């Protein structure tokens, strides 16, 4: 997912409520349909083509993917350009380095 920075804490809380505990978060710059915005820097108009966003990566194993999508849509929606995008793709495999476990087992919390 890529979305506005100010929605991250609400999204994190909502994902935690449905059982998503493992996420990776990256501060990114980007633009989509909105093509950035015009700002003023030292009195001079400057076009900001890249806006600060947050990228959230989640690997889903137990929680249904559709539930994650619907939860994120509900939290991130403002109705304005820039609400974000959710990308869904298959993960071929995952390996827990510490134990060598692979696949579903590597994603389970067995501390």
The model's pLDDT over 14-46, given as tens digits with 9 standing for 90+, comes to 999 999 988 999 999 887 766 656 666 677 766
Within 10 angstroms of residue 43's Cβ, the number of other Cβ atoms is 5
The single-letter DSSP state of residue 102 is: B
* Chain centroid, CA 50 distance in Å: 17
Q: Per residue in 88-107, pLDDT tens?
A: 999 999 999 999 999 999 98
pTM over 0.95: no
Q: Name the burial class of residue 97, with classes exposed (0-12), middle (13-18) and buried (19+) by CB atoms within 10 angstroms of its CB.
A: exposed
CATH code of 2-107, in short, is: 3.30.70.120
């Amino acid at each position: 997912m890529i979305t506005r920075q100010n929605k991250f804490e609400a999204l994190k809380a909502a994902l935690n409520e449905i059982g998503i505990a493992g996420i990776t978060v990256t501060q990114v710059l980007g633009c989509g349909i909105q093509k950035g915005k015009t700002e003023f820097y030292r009195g001079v108009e400057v076009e900001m083509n890249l806006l600060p966003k947050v990228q959230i990566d989640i690997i889903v194993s137990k929680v249904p993917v559709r539930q994650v999508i619907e939860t994120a849509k509900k939290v991130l929606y403002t109705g304005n350009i820039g609400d974000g995008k959710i990308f869904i793709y298959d993960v071929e495999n995952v390996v827990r380095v510490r134990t060598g476990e692979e696949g579903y087992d590597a994603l389970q919390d067995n501390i």
